[in-house]
A = this chain, B = another copy of it.
């Protein structure tokens, strides 16, 4: 894997993202654990502002983490195309509390000529508990 984009993300491995060109990714503040072609592993710390009235990670933030990690996965290919999300589905199994560390792992399932299908699993820190699974289809656009 040797795209410039992969190298860019690689420099963040085991560091928290801060100066990303994506303001919302900076808010999610992932720690990049692994960067591969077709797969990324991001780690997040659940902050109080990410929680719902029950003190657990807001389902909407979980969906946002999944969507963001998926988008970053496609950047690694380094293609001079932009992908737009057609649809995102999330199945929820469990949550996490403020202060908890959670892990998001993405995996490109099918990279077609126009559509890319990608999955993500969200785990608790030691990966003994699956918190959510996400599935998304993205389409290549002409935007550069």
Listed in ascending order, the chain A residues whose CB lies under 8 Å from chain B are 20-28, 48-54, 58-61, 63-68, 71, 82, 84-93, 109-110, 112, 114-115, 117, 130, 133, 135, 137, 139, 143
Contact = CB atoms under 8 A, between A and B. Distances in A.
Contact of A86 (B27, B88, B91): B91
B89 A85 contact: no
A61 B64 contact: yes
21 contacts: A22-B51, A22-B53, A22-B58, A23-B51, A24-B49, A24-B58, A52-B71, A60-B63, A60-B66, A60-B68, A64-B64, A86-B91, A86-B92, A86-B115, A86-B137, A87-B92, A89-B90, A89-B135, A93-B112, A93-B117, A137-B137
Secondary structure type dominating chain A contacts: mixed
Most B Cβ at <10 Å: residue of A27, A50, A60, A139: A60
Nearest to A112: B93
A87 B91 CA distance: 4
Contact of A51 (B24, B50, B58, B84): B24
Pairs A-B, 4 closest by C-beta atoms: A60-B64, A60-B67, A24-B58, A21-B53
